[in-house]
Amino acid sequence: MWRTERLVLRLWEAGDAARALDLYGRWEVARWLGAQPRVLADEAEALALVERFRGRSADPRFGVWAVERADTGVVAGSVLLVPLPDGDGEVEVGWHFHPDSWGNGFATEAARAAVAKGFADGLPEIRAVVRPGNAPSAAVCRRLGMTLQGRTTRWYGTELDEFLLTAGD
């Protein structure tokens, strides 16, 4: 667990399943995720997702963390720092936030903390992959100082915009 000015980044917990369902059960969030986007159907799927997120945090360098508002204790979303699937060791930073938390700078704040953690742990570069048309996420990439590398189909089985940030940037 670690903190930013307004957020607590921590492991997802079983007690967060209802909020995970409310977040990942919304098309306006899920439509940007995965090769074949779909919403979560029920709390059992949400609990399974929470367990997958916890499993991705087994290596302390990486994880998918709940982003909790320090002022309210409400989970605003997720931030992730994980190896890209089918890659050659490339690591991505990503974020998924509930619509009730959009427009507050939480994604940028949480992603900035995850990037700082990655670089402190020795990563030479970090990528973000964004589905074309997801202007808010592309804006977060730009606020993080990331550079657009172009379109790729290398990861997740779909066309994505690839952004890159190196430790020296």
The band of 35, judged by pLDDT with boundaries at 50, 70 and 90, is confident
Domains and CATH numbers, the chain: 2-123 (3.40.630.30)
Please report the pLDDT score of residue 157 as a whole number: 87
Average pLDDT for the chain: 96
With CA atoms as reference, report the closest residue to 104 among 128, 70, 133, 131. Answer: 70
User: Tokens in use for 9?
Assistant: 């980044």
pTM listed for this prediction: 0.95
User: Tokens in use for 166?
Assistant: 């190196």
Please report the pLDDT score of residue 46 as a whole number: 97
Mean local confidence (pLDDT), 64-79:
98
> Which of the two residues, 163 and 58, has the higher pLDDT score?
163
User: Tokens in use for 160?
Assistant: 């994505």
User: Tokens in use for 153?
Assistant: 């189909």
Please report the pLDDT score of residue 58 as a whole number: 87
> Which of the two residues, 34 and 120, has the higher pLDDT score?
120
Mean local confidence (pLDDT), 6-28:
97
Three-class SS state of 156: coil
Residue 169 has pLDDT above 80, yes or no: no
Give tens-digit pLDDT for 108-143. Answer: 999 999 999 999 999 999 999 999 999 999 999 999
H or E segment to which residue 84 belongs: none
The dihedral built from the CA positions of residue 62, 14, 71 and 32, taken in this order, carries a sign that is positive
CA-based R_g, the chain, Å: 15
Residue 8 has pLDDT above 90, yes or no: yes
Residue 167 has pLDDT above 90, yes or no: yes
Please report the pLDDT score of residue 86 as a whole number: 85
Q: 28, exposed or middle or buried, with CB in 10 Å at 0-12, 13-18, 19+? A: exposed
User: Tokens in use for 90?
Assistant: 């490339």
Between CA 116 and CA 147 the distance in angstroms is 17
